[in-house]
């Protein structure tokens, strides 16, 4: 693959989650390959020099926020306890665990059993699934691809966390035992012989071995925007949190994100020194269901010429602009203040299809216009990269779409019209800003959209998780929604394009809209 292909692959992975790889296809530079037994696999980006977004804490930079971050981290901890049954092996891929066992573990952790707590836990499971921290299907949960990014150095901390988690109190199951549920999910495990099984009524629930574990961090950015929509980021992310950006970054408790990124999950809170890409996960880790293999080094030629201090400054600035929730002050990072280091930082970002965006004395990263356009075309054609066997975006979470649906676009447009376009026309909002203190009430959205209520709620949830909308409270009132932190990551060209789309949406028959259409047809 060429360097342009690698950059496009990173854009697809950041926008839509881990890339699916064909049998024998190598991961792009700077990515970890998770190989399945049939030689197919998934690829997801690794952080340079073993750093994680938890590095933001050292510089007191706020990461991308994660919805109900505390609940999400606790639920991820419960998943880890139930799925990491063999503490002598790496956490990923672990073993499948029934959803009810995870929920029971979460209840034991928080000491509450009411329905509200259950609903919050189920919501957290959905967020973790969407940001690839877990995979939830058919009533079972397994650890997701982002868990393979936890550094080896964090395993002891993860094990201690899991050891301290309480065991769930589960009554005897009257239908199917946990062991039978998990066995049925294994394609290579024969179904249990009823003659050798105890009566289902007497079968007590089995617990996975729980003697040690904790987690890490999702990425902030979660979705690739097309020209007419702003760029999202889950999370990833790795939850910056459960991002989650994905994204999938916290000391002793898991949680995105990430997220996302997310804030983001992660046990590792200290930046480590120079290393090759994916040093923490470079050894091939053979496990039941898959193994993790480090890809080619990505930044060694750029960072190799710097001493340890400047190299660490470059990596810190890279993590900050990629995973911060807001543009970061250049005064806090030498690599942003120094023009030579800032040029090297720009080259690092370019290799991942990103670019530096300046907001006066603050900086943040966003998708490079040309690479984003190429990635959008590939998504339209099915998401295959021009490489042997191809690579396909995994979407927003495992198997989900990387772009917004019609309902999400309609709801986002309404919020932009009411929170940005109208205040701007009234002169109460500056021309070139997409941050707004004027929330759009939910009642206003319900009145001005034909989207059914259920789809509206789902669209708002998707947009919140992507960082495209933020829910705010307005004193005693219900508040509403304003543009989210991802709007800080728009390049000048995308901001201009979005402004034109807003004009066409708000006043399609106005003279200004006619001028926009005329200019576009002439191009």
The full DSSP string for 30-45 is TEEEEE-TTS-EEEEE
pLDDT at position 357 is: 95
- Give the integer Cα–Cα distance in Å for 503 and 307: 50
* Count of C-beta atoms within a 10 Å radius of residue 35: 20
Profile the chain (523 residues) by mean pLDDT over runs of 10 residues.
88 90 89 89 89 85 85 94 92 91 92 85 91 91 92 91 87 56 56 37 34 38 39 38 37 38 34 35 42 82 92 94 92 94 96 94 95 86 48 46 78 90 83 83 86 90 89 70 92 90 84 89 84
Q: Which two tokens stand for residue 457?
A: 């709620």
- Give the integer Cα–Cα distance in Å for 341 and 380: 36
- Give the integer Cα–Cα distance in Å for 479 and 432: 24
Least Cα distance to 207 among 302, 97, 316, 300 occurs for 97
- Count, in order, helices (H) and strands (E) of the chain: 18, 14
The two beta strands, 290-294 and 328-329, are unpaired
- Give the integer Cα–Cα distance in Å for 314 and 310: 6
Measured in Å, how far apart are the chain's first and last C-alpha atoms? 32
Q: Which two tokens stand for residue 250?
A: 């916290």
- Give the integer Cα–Cα distance in Å for 308 and 327: 26
- Give the integer Cα–Cα distance in Å for 423 and 430: 9
Give the helix/strand (H/E) hosting 128.
Answer: helix 115-130
pLDDT at position 179 is: 61
For the chain, give the number of residues: 523
Task: Output the CATH code of domain 406-522.
Answer: 1.10.10
In the numeric block, the tokens 């021009």 are attached to: 386
- Give the integer Cα–Cα distance in Å for 291 and 41: 9
The CATH-assigned architecture of domain 69-164 is Orthogonal Bundle (1.10)
Buried b / exposed e along 93-128 (16+ C-beta atoms within 10 A): bbbbbbbebbbbbbbbbbeeeeeebeebbebbbebb
- Give the integer Cα–Cα distance in Å for 209 and 212: 9
CATH 1.10.10.10 boundaries in the chain: 69-164
pLDDT at position 505 is: 81
Beta carbons of 64 and 262 less than 8 angstroms apart: yes
- Give the integer Cα–Cα distance in Å for 180 and 188: 14
Beta bridge partners of 136: 141
pTM over 0.85: no
Beta carbons of 349 and 361 less than 8 angstroms apart: no
3-state secondary structure of 203: coil
Least Cα distance to 187 among 81, 37, 82 occurs for 37
DSSP 8-state class, residue 399: T
In the numeric block, the tokens 């979470």 are attached to: 397
């Amino acid at each position: 693959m060429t360097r342009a292909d690698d950059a496009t692959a990173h854009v697809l992975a950041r926008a839509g989650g881990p890339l699916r790889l064909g049998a024998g296809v190598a991961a792009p530079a700077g990515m970890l390959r998770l190989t399945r037994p049939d030689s197919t696999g998934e690829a997801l980006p690794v952080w340079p020099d073993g750093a994680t977004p938890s590095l933001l804490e050292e510089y007191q930079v706020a990461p991308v926020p994660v919805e109900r971050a505390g609940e999400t981290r606790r639920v991820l901890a419960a998943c880890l306890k139930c799925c990491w049954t063999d503490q002598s092996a790496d956490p990923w891929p672990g073993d499948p665990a029934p959803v009810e066992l995870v929920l029971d573990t979460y209840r034991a952790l928080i000491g509450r059993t009411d329905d509200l707590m259950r609903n919050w836990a189920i919501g957290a499971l959905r967020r973790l699934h969407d940001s690839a921290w877990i995979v939830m299907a058919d009533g079972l949960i397994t650890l997701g691809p982002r868990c393979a990014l936890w550094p080896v150095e964090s395993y002891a901390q993860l094990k201690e966390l899991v050891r301290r988690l309480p065991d769930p109190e589960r009554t005897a199951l009257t239908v199917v035992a946990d062991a039978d549920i998990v066995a049925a999910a294994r394609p290579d495990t024969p179904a249990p012989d009823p003659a050798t099984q105890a009566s289902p009524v007497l079968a007590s629930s089995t617990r996975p071995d729980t003697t040690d574990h904790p987690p890490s961090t999702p990425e902030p950015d979660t979705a690739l925007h097309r020209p007419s929509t702003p760029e999202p980021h889950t999370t990833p992310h790795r939850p910056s949190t459960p991002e989650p950006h994905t994204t999938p970054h916290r000391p002793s408790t898991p949680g995105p994100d990430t997220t996302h990124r997310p804030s983001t999950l992660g046990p590792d809170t200290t930046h480590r020194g120079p290393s090759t890409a994916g040093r923490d996960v470079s050894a091939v880790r053979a496990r039941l269901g898959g193994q993790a293999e480090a890809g080619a080094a990505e930044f060694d030629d750029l960072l190799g010429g710097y001493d340890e201090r400047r190299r660490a400054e470059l990596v810190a600035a890279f993590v900050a602009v990629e995973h911060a929730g807001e543009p970061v002050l250049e005064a806090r990072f030498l690599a942003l203040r120094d023009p030579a280091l800032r040029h090297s930082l720009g080259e690092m970002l370019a290799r991942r299809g990103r670019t530096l965006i300046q907001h006066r004395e603050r900086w943040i990263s966003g998708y490079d216009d040309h690479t984003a356009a190429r990635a959008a075309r590939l998504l339209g054609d099915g998401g295959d990269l021009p490489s042997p066997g191809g690579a396909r975006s995994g979407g927003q979470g495992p198997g989900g779409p990387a772009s917004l649906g019609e309902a999400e676009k309609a709801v986002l447009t309404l919020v932009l019209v009411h929170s940005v376009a109208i205040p701007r026309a009234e002169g109460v909002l500056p021309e070139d800003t997409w941050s707004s203190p004027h929330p759009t009430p939910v009642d206003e959205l319900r009145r001005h959209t034909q989207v059914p209520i259920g789809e509206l709620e789902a669209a708002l949830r998707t947009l919140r998780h992507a960082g495209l909308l933020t829910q705010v409270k307005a004193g005693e009132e219900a508040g509403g929604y304003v543009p989210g932190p991802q709007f800080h990551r728009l390049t000048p060209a995308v901001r201009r394009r979005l402004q034109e789309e807003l004009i066409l949406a708000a006043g399609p028959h106005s003279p200004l809209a006619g001028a926009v259409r005329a200019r576009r047809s002439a191009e």
